[in-house]
Every structure is written in C-alpha cells, then in structure tokens.
Amino acid sequence: MTFLTGPTLIYGLGRSGRGVARFLAREAQVAEWFDARPQPEDEALMTELGFARGDATRPYRTVIAAPGVPIDHPDLQSLREHGAEVMGEVEVAFRARPALPVVGVTGTAGKGSTTVLIASLLRAQGVNALEGGNIDPPLLDVVDRAEVAVAELSSFQLERVPTFRPAVAVVTNLGVDHLDRHGSVEAYHAAKRNVARHQTPRDVLVLPEGAAVPGAATVRRFTPLRLTLADGREVLPVQDLPEGVHPANAAAAVLAAEAMMAHLGRPLDVPALAGALREARAVTGRFETVARHGELRFVNDSIATRTLAVQAALQQAAPPVAWLVGGRDKGAELEPLIAAAQGKVSRVIGFGEDGERFALALGLPYLLVTGQDGTDVMRHAVQAAVGALGMDGEPRGTVLLSPIGTSFDLYRDYAERGRAFVQAAQEAVTALDGPARTFSGTEVEA
C-alpha cells in the first residue's frame, strides 16, 4: 500500500530515522536517506535495506525528518520551498495505519511515565496496548503488533505532524523547556498543542485543571487530588498509589484509559483498573527508589531535566534531602525549584558542566564534586550526599538525583547517568554495612 507520495527522503538517521527506514523497507516503499554525519552502522543498515544516499539539494515530494533536526533547519526550509511536505515518524505511522487507535501523550513533565501507565492500564483491561514514540521503541516498531498504540510525543515530534489525529490525546502539563530549540515559551507550547490540533468532537482530550489547549475534542480534566472516572467515580484513593507513581500522571492515565475503552466500544473493568494502579511501578530513571539503608533512600530521577519534573521530585522526596544537580543546562527555570527545596534540602551536591552554576543559583549549602569520568563523578557525588545526611549520626533521608541539566556532558544519555547513580548507591549501601568510612574525594565546600 502506498501512503507516501512521490520521491521520499529520510532526513536524519539515529533511533527515529532507523525506525522509519526499517518500516519503509517492510512496506516495500522506495526512499533515499541523508544524514550530515552518518554513523558507519547506520550507513550499513541503509545499504542492507536497499536505500540509496540522497541529496538534500534535490526536490522531493515527501521528507521524513528526524526529531533531532530543527524544523527550521535550512535544508528543510529549502526542501519545503521546492515542494516537499515535511513530516516525522508519528505522521508516517498515522498515515500508514489509519485504523490503529492511538493515545498521544505529551507535556513538559510526566509524559513518559504517563505513557507507560496508560499502556499498562489498558493491558489490564485485556487490550494489547504497546507504548512507543519518544520512549523506546520507535512508534513504527509497534504499529503492527499493537491493538492500541500509546505514543509519548515530544515537542520536536509534534512540530512535524501535519494531519496526525489521536483518538485520545493527553497533555500532562505545560511548563518551560527546550527554549534553545523553540526560541520562546509560546513556540514550545504551540508545538505541544499540536497533539489536539486535528481532533474532532468524537475524540477525547485529557487536560489538567486550568490548562488551555484549543481544539474540537471532548475535554476531560484531571487533578492530582483524586483518581476518578469522567463521571466523578473514584477508582482508587490517591494514598493507595505505590511509591514513585505521581498522582497527576495516574489521574490522567485513568481518564485516558477510560476514553480509549469507550472508543473501542468495550466495557471498562473498574476493579481491574484499580488493581493495575496498585501494581504500577515508577519507570526506570523517573523517581525510582534504587537502594535503601535503614531510613536512607536513594532515588534515581535522572531523566528530570525540566523544572516541573524536578519540582515534582522535590515535593515527593522525604526530607532531609541531599540533592544531586548538574549536567548541561538547557535553560530550566530555577526560581520554582528554590521554593520547592526550602525546608527539605539540607545540601546540594553539584557535579558536571553546570553543577556549580546550578548550586550557586539555588542559594543552598552545597558541595562540588569532580572525578576522572562519569562513573567516578557520580560515586563521589553519592558519597558526599551520604556524608551530608549522616553528619549527626546514622544517615537518614533521601539522596536524590534530579539533575536539572542534560546528561550529555559526562554520559551518553540519562539512562547511562542513572546506571552510574544506581552503581554508586549500591556501593554506598555496601560501605554503610561495613566498617565506618569517610569520604576523601575531590569535593569543595562553599
């Protein structure tokens, strides 16, 4: 089946581009590819799939641009001027499988956790729901295996969805992020709101109380104070949620799952919904408790690089908190974090490229740590945090990695940073169980 018109160019490889290429090959679609800095393994994959290298200066009818490529990139601008329609992986999935019901989930914080939770709630209803998109795997890798696709959607992906229409859309929240790419909060929010742009009154849009997203869909609103269905019936008391599952994400997921079951024309099993909520678990790297020692807890929130996400972590963390901050700054607002940290954070531990800048701006007592590599830096940071929480005896409270900055200064991605934290936490617990030790690393107290 042909769902793309005219000569097609896959612009940008990486995870999304590879997913597009594999899918087009399975569909016997003809395409070329272009990447300014292709990796050898990507070039090998393109050769294996039978796709020739293209030329971004030639005209194409369809350009499938990876989310990592800015939508206003000169090449994309030129291709549009020469008649190309620019889209992304999500749009390709929608056009290729128009009958597949999709839940589209976006927001400044919580979209990944909410995506995973919606899929698990639907599976508890007997629906073969699979998650993909901005979260692994690429959306095109699941469209032929899923009865319902639950897609985490970034603002970059939502810049390139000219006709995409999810049956159910979820906006977890709208804050400040990616100003380095979008240029303004208004442009960033406009991209996020594209998730509902093509919805009709037959579709459902799930929003937090007070949020404004234009569109024609039927709106369902959630609050983190109650886990309710659209008619107000409580599914589960908020206090019964497992540790690490944010009530706002759960509340949005309940309404989204209910809406999708109605879309499918199937009855909702409320007890099964409540049971799935009780069994929900934090997603790896999202406020995940990875180690304990007595009253001391180690929480991996490595993915938290947005103000709203870090703020939520600070609100959930049990005081006193030793807060690990660092990485590469991407323009996060710090004022809300200063307020959230008051009375909870006893020490900030700064690491990486912008750790010192964050620590200074937060205005709290801090230590700075360095090391030979990412693993060494994280080990020193965790040791310093344990020491700060144990100054008056046995350490207690929370060692919280909620870093504000991206991981790209010291680590390949947030997952690698999280793994370094988990390793350091486990080593710290082992040390606490053994002979008394003091930290002698390279931290500098200010």
Q: Is 346 helix (H, G, I), strand (E, B) or coil?
A: strand
Between helices 247-264 and 111-124, what is the axis angle to 10°? 50
Question: What is the three-class DSSP state of 22?
Answer: helix
> What per-residue string of b and e applies to 111-134 under the rule 16 or more CB within 10 Å gives b?
bbbbbbbbbbbbbbbebebbbbbb
Give ∠ CA 107-108-114 in degrees, rounded to 5.
Answer: 50
**Helix, strand, or coil (residue 60):** coil
Cα 120 to Cα 269: distance, rounded to the nearest angstrom: 14
Q: Which residue has the tokens 């207690």?
A: 396
DSSP tally for the chain: helices H, then strands E = 15, 20
Query: Cα(158)–Cα(171) distance, rounded to whole angstroms?
Result: 12
Q: Which residues are annotated as a binding site for ATP?
A: 107-113
In angstroms and rounded to an integer, the radius of gyration of the C-alpha atoms of the chain is 23
Burial group, residue 323, by CB count within 10 angstroms (0-12, 13-18, 19+): buried
CA distances from 139 to 96, 160, 168, 171, 274 (A): 12, 14, 16, 18, 28
Which residues fall in the annotated binding site? Answer: 107-113
Q: Single out the residue of 228, 153, 152 nearest to residue 192, CA to CA.
A: 153
Residue 34 token pair: 């272009």
